[in-house]
């Protein structure tokens, strides 16, 4: 199945408020629609840096601005959609087969990613023409 940008959405995660601060929890099967196989985070990203520029065949992910803010541009080969992440209780669910670009990282921002699969370079599509061919394949 091929997903579209309309299938990708920002999920509002529950917040446990306490007098000394908040907690947000992400749990396999409960809050998340897949079991987490890998966690990674981007940090010390220069403010003018642009990351991404690829898609994944199978991988799906939740992306959270654990600190600061940044913008994701998702692209399904026909439509693009921009998502601004700026709060730790908002998780962008990126489905498989979607091209992504990331920009506008604020100073000190941390981009936390919960991934459905282990890292594999074979799952990447790093060339945009290859991506469009993949999208147009039946």
Q: Segment 27-86, which members bind ligand T46 (CB under 6 A)?
A: 38, 40, 42, 51-52, 56, 61, 63
Nearer to ligand T46, 19 or 35 (CB): 35
- The structure tokens listed for 77 are 């080969």
Instruction: Provide the mask over 6-25, with x wherever binding to ligand T46 is found by CB under 6 A and - wherever it is not.
Output: --------------------
Binding of ligand T46 at residue 111 (CB under 6 A)?
Answer: yes
Residue number closest to ligand T46, CB atom: 119
Rounded Cα gap, residues 52 and 68, in angstroms: 18
Distances (CA, A) of 7 to 22, 74, 79: 29, 11, 12
> What is the biggest distance separating any 2 CA atoms in the chain, rounded to whole angstroms?
54
For the question of residue 54 being annotated catalytic, the response is: yes
> Cβ 115 to ligand T46, closest distance in Å?
7
Question: In terms of C-beta density within 10 A (0-12 exposed, 13-18 middle, 19 or more buried), how is residue 31 classed?
Answer: middle
> Cβ 110 to ligand T46, closest distance in Å?
11
Pick from 90, 95, 100, 135: which binds ligand T46 (CB under 6 A)?
A: 100
N-term to C-term CA, the chain: 10
Q: Segment 113-132, which members bind ligand T46 (CB under 6 A)?
A: 113, 119
């Amino acid at each position: 199945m091929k997903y579209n940008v309309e299938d990708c959405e920002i999920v509002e995660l529950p917040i446990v408020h306490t007098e000394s601060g908040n907690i947000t929890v992400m749990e396999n099967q409960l809050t998340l629609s897949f079991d987490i196989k890998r966690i990674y985070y981007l940090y010390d990203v220069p403010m003018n840096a642009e990351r991404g520029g690829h898609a994944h065949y199978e991988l799906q992910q939740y992306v959270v601005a654990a600190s600061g803010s940044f913008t994701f541009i998702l692209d399904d080969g026909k439509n693009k959609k921009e998502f601004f992440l700026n709060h730790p209780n908002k998780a962008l669910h990126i489905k498989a087969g979607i091209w992504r670009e990331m920009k506008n990282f604020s100073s000190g921002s941390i981009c936390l990613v919960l991934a459905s699969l282990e890292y594999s370079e074979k799952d990447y599509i790093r060339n945009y023409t290859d991506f469009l061919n993949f999208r147009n394949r039946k």
